[in-house]
Structure 1
């Protein structure tokens, strides 16, 4: 349905925002492509969503992350095009039960010569241009003391001039899905494979192997946090057994950085998510050599410290004839600040902590903005 979507967008001057599952349906550099929407959304997409009179949802389940827990575009009339009647009727929308390709084609015929206003189209294009410039700035940083996900994503894509059309990135859990949703640039359908329905830690490497078996002609890049890697990594050995090369980038922030930040966002004190603030025995926190571990399974592997070292290692990984693992230390406290929207995570009503009181007030404000 991607070509039908593009034709619809260009004929009617309708800006497009992407869900996790829909990323790549329209190329990242299309003038009307606003990028990710929702809790992990771009400033461009979320700004338009908050102002829209009508939102056309195509093939989406309208989950919490897509809708900002149903607060992001609560003011808009919702037209829901979905082959699944259960999803099509959500939030009292106008139901269009059809295949996305057939439905968009028929909707375009029914709309005739209608298109959005010149002001709306111009605003959308300016917002999209500004966001693409932000992506370049965020991912383009090389000289940082301790990298974070956005800078790693930039390094991965810079190491191949055809990354946007040839790479398939695979991920599942932690902070990475948010930053990849915002910052990964893909120009081809299927260039972005995210298990984000349940955010299953450990899916990444096994899922990447499946993707490589399905698309042996593409470069499969698995980007995984240290927590997920430790949960399930044995398919590295299987990838060598089957001669299915993966490029695996491990981001080692020494714990569960995403949940550590969520604890604090809800007003709590950080505990038991990073090795540094976890309960420890006499031996202290483990010092894990991820490259040595991967090499023990037969992969080529190395540990790096900086973005420049990461880029050099990834060039070697892309040129290699077998699965190659590169581990880089990352900052557990930084994430992409641009964009995003409210997400309903309950906060206690009663607490001795002032930070909890502030978090509760923000939670109640978000609740008031939800679609009822």
Structure 2
């Protein structure tokens, strides 16, 4: 029988689960864990960040690329209080990680020691994280840890993935027990997380599909890991494929069946096809407000009368926002395989060609509308030109991360992924910093793949220390800073809802003079050991991206982008009770 400290049990379990990295920030509350990790540093690598939220974003992005969880470590009090912005992003976008937080010693519970959250309940940090995790555990004895760790990893991975919290008081890290670590392989068995549909449900879907004249597949982020199955069924049945914004990388943007994303920042063919459809087969999407024009009838969807087949691994999402004619709590990939097998070699009905031709006309109209700005020579650089230059310079397998801001809206609408799984974004919680720090996690997950994050100047200023972390651990990440001088997506909402002269706290200006305030991001990157270039002319951008990628070191591109450029809208979004704006293109339908 062994003799283990609590921290040794945790470290051993992480190694047995195949976790390659723990990412976080030191503090007195996690000293015991760091000591155990020191002894096993040849088996599991510890990465230190300069902000706890960065650790959470790194773990989140790693999972989205590899579908394998990492662990984070943070200390008690403010250290762990920095985690929710990252955990909320992971929870709402179905990304798994284990958040290990240190806490005060159990012998000091209720005595108000340094950094105890104990005014309402002793050592009550689990309550602080409760809304942002799938499940929380607090160990008050070391012998509890094997069971909690085993359950934590099972919970993270099962059904709808998500982050799990393990809170460990300082003494539990260091106290010893003869309780042995769990054997993950023994408990995991040979099962899988794939859930199939009942055969009657598959038959009902096919009956609806055969009767439909204008069917559309809608792929959410839950279908992104089933990209091959999605494409196989879409091609077999000749079905156009729209995506939710978060599921945008479920299908290559150049595929002839691809319509783009739905919702307020989506494309015209996607929104028009979905609101015109008589059948929507939705896979792994929760129909949130930004993906659906805030559920306003007829803007993105008209359900009913459009009939809906809704497939989601979480039964709580079925018929939450739209009534499903057929609701299936199952894995989108499994359902797509079942549908493809049952469809077989059957030819699509003649009406399908007519429907696809109509959609092609809408796509051509949209392309004629948005294409001219792609090669604008104007300065500051047009957003469309930024994305066009970026698309031309990035290899097909490159991973693009979008942080939150005006640039994110442009990417949702006008970025065309070459391959499934190459676009990462924070959607449900929309956490600024995800792209800034998550780029490091993507690079750890795909060390031979180019990684570039498009981030706003506002978002980058929240976590600029990621450059130092990337230098420390030799992570050659590129950040393209969309420098438009402020929180422009919010400024534009101020102007639109309250008047052009009523903006406040959204543009970066010197308070005393009103002059623009500009950070020297190139100097900032170099001060931390990275490299950088400032780009002000559109013709220089493509080459600058190539230089940054070829440098194989942390690199910041400070790109001056036109803050006055307006995005065409093919749908809307309501901030109730404020009146929603009408679409600026193709509305009302001709």
TM range (shorter): 0.7 to 0.9
User: Partner residue of 2:380?
Assistant: 146
User: Partner residue of 1:331?
Assistant: 562
CA distance in 2, matches of 1:130, 1:45: 12
When Rg is computed on C-alpha atoms for both structures, the one with the higher figure is: 2
User: Any conservation in 2 of the 1:175–1:335 contact (CA below 8 Å)?
Assistant: no
User: Any conservation in 1 of the 2:572–2:581 contact (CA below 8 Å)?
Assistant: no
Q: CA deviation at 1:80?
A: 0.4
What TM-score do the two structures reach when normalised by structure 2? 0.55
User: Partner residue of 1:32?
Assistant: 257
User: Partner residue of 1:81?
Assistant: 311
What does the per-residue CA deviation read over 1:241-288, in whole Å, with 9 as the maximum and x for residues that have no partner? 111101111111111111111112213343224446x68137965332
User: Partner residue of 2:427?
Assistant: 196
Confirm whether residue 120 of structure 1 aligns to residue 352 of structure 2.
no
Task: Name the CA shift for 1:82/1:286 in 2 (closer, same or farther; >3 Å).
Answer: same
Task: Name the CA shift for 1:314/1:53 in 2 (closer, same or farther; >3 Å).
Answer: same
State how 1:23-102 maps to structure 2 within 5 Å: 23-71=248-296, 72-74=300-302, 75-90=305-320, 91-93=322-324, 94-102=326-334
User: Any conservation in 2 of the 1:18–1:36 contact (CA below 8 Å)?
Assistant: yes
Number of aligned pairs? Answer: 347
CA distance in 2, matches of 1:224, 1:96: 37
CA distance in 1, matches of 2:448, 2:363: 31
User: Any conservation in 2 of the 1:150–1:336 contact (CA below 8 Å)?
Assistant: no
Q: 1:313 aligns with which of 544, 547, 569?
A: 544
Any idea what SS the aligned residue of 1:145 has? Answer: coil
User: Partner residue of 2:238?
Assistant: 13
Task: Name the CA shift for 1:114/1:52 in 2 (closer, same or farther; >3 Å).
Answer: farther
Confirm whether residue 182 of structure 1 aligns to residue 413 of structure 2.
yes
Q: 1:298 aligns with which of 518, 522, 529?
A: 529
CA distance in 2, matches of 1:119, 1:345: 37
- Runs of 4+ with deviation above 6 angstroms: none
Confirm whether residue 173 of structure 1 aligns to residue 401 of structure 2.
no
Any idea what SS the aligned residue of 2:409 has? Answer: helix
State how 1:242-261 maps to structure 2 within 5 Å: 242-261=473-492
User: Any conservation in 2 of the 1:33–1:128 contact (CA below 8 Å)?
Assistant: no
What does the per-residue CA deviation read over 1:285-305, in whole Å, with 9 as the maximum and x for residues that have no partner? 533211111111111112121
Segment of structure 1 superposing worse, 124-133 or 49-58: 124-133
Task: Name the CA shift for 1:309/1:274 in 2 (closer, same or farther; >3 Å).
Answer: farther
Give 5+ residue unaligned stretches, structure 1: 349-359, 364-368
Q: CA deviation at 1:56?
A: 1.0
User: Any conservation in 1 of the 2:495–2:503 contact (CA below 8 Å)?
Assistant: no
How much is the aligned-residue C-alpha RMSD, in angstroms? Answer: 2.4
Q: CA deviation at 1:332?
A: 1.5
Give 5+ residue unaligned stretches, structure 2: 1-225, 583-587
User: Partner residue of 1:342?
Assistant: 572
Confirm whether residue 223 of structure 1 aligns to residue 457 of structure 2.
no
Q: CA deviation at 1:11?
A: 1.5
CA distance in 1, matches of 2:419, 2:561: 29
User: Any conservation in 2 of the 1:246–1:322 contact (CA below 8 Å)?
Assistant: yes
Any idea what SS the aligned residue of 2:495 has? Answer: helix
Any idea what SS the aligned residue of 2:421 has? Answer: coil
CA distance in 2, matches of 1:214, 1:133: 38
